[in-house]
């Protein structure tokens, strides 16, 4: 009798363990998709106006082209801020390594242009809204390794749903 009870208890425990294990597997699967394939990104703020709205907008970001160095000029990417590693920022790639970039450091004085060459292993990022964007004009070129994802699909708000690579 006692033996049979133990068997019942054991099967409960086994079932619980199996549940926990499959939950763990699911978590691992999520992590791998998130880190190596695609992930959801929510952006907000004025720095990418008019391409990306001020209000929170949801995108799909992919990590395949960033991993293999296939991102190019004009792509909109999510970058870990060089000034605060806990913050992610969305900016447009304005120059890859060895590119010559000419930019206006202060949009109120459009005559004052500056030209630099992007150093090796770095990229030049700029927001579309030159008036309100903290970007490479401020902190210089950033290492490629800070790039997290490339935005490729707009998900929310629903009326903007669709591909997002030719903007």
Question: Which of 11, 19, 25, 47 does the annotation list as catalytic?
Answer: 47
User: Could you tell me the smallest distance in angstroms from the CB atom of residue 102 to another protein?
Assistant: 23
Supply φ then ψ for residue 48, to 5 degrees. -105, 15
Query: Which lies closer to another protein via its Cβ, residue 107 or residue 140?
Result: 140
Cα–Cα distance, 153 to 163 (Å, whole number): 4
User: Could you tell me the smallest distance in angstroms from the CB atom of residue 28 to another protein?
Assistant: 4
Cα–Cα distance, 104 to 41 (Å, whole number): 29
Question: Which of 25, 70, 87, 91 does the annotation list as catalytic?
Answer: 91
User: Could you tell me the smallest distance in angstroms from the CB atom of residue 88 to another protein?
Assistant: 9
Query: Which lies closer to another protein via its Cβ, residue 78 or residue 101?
Result: 78
Among this protein's residues, is 159 annotated catalytic? Answer: no
Contact 113, 133 (CB under 8 A): no
Query: Which lies closer to another protein via its Cβ, residue 29 or residue 161?
Result: 29
Other beta carbons within 10 angstroms of residue 99's beta carbon come to: 16
Query: Which lies closer to another protein via its Cβ, residue 48 or residue 146?
Result: 146
Task: Please provide the DSSP assignment of 79-142 as one string.
Answer: EE-SS-TT-EEEEEEEE-TT-EEEEES-TT-TT-EEEEEPPTTEEEEE-S-GGG--SHHHH--E
Supply φ then ψ for residue 28, to 5 degrees. -65, -40
Q: Which residues bind another protein (CB under 8 A)?
A: 24-25, 27-29, 31-32, 35, 69, 80-86, 120-122, 139, 142-147
User: Could you tell me the smallest distance in angstroms from the CB atom of residue 1 to another protein?
Assistant: 36
Among this protein's residues, is 91 annotated catalytic? Answer: yes
Q: Active-site positions?
A: 47, 91
């Amino acid at each position: 009798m006692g033996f049979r009870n133990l068997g019942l208890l054991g099967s409960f425990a086994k079932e619980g363990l199996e549940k926990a294990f499959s939950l763990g597997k699911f978590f691992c699967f999520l992590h791998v998709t998130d880190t190596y394939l695609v992930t959801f990104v929510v952006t907000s703020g004025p720095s990418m106006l008019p391409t990306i709205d001020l209000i929170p907008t949801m995108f799909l970001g992919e990590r395949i082209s960033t991993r293999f160095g296939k991102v190019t000029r004009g792509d909109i990417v999510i970058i870990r801020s060089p000034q605060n590693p806990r913050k992610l920022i969305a900016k447009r790639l304005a120059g890859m390594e060895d590119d010559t970039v000419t930019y206006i450091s202060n949009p109120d004085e459009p005559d004052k242009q500056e030209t630099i060459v992007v150093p090796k292993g770095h990229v030049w990022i700029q927001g579309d809204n030159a008036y309100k964007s903290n970007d490479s004009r401020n902190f210089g070129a950033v290492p490629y390794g800070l790039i997290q994802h490339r935005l490729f699909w707009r998900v929310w708000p629903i009326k903007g749903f669709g591909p997002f690579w030719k903007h």
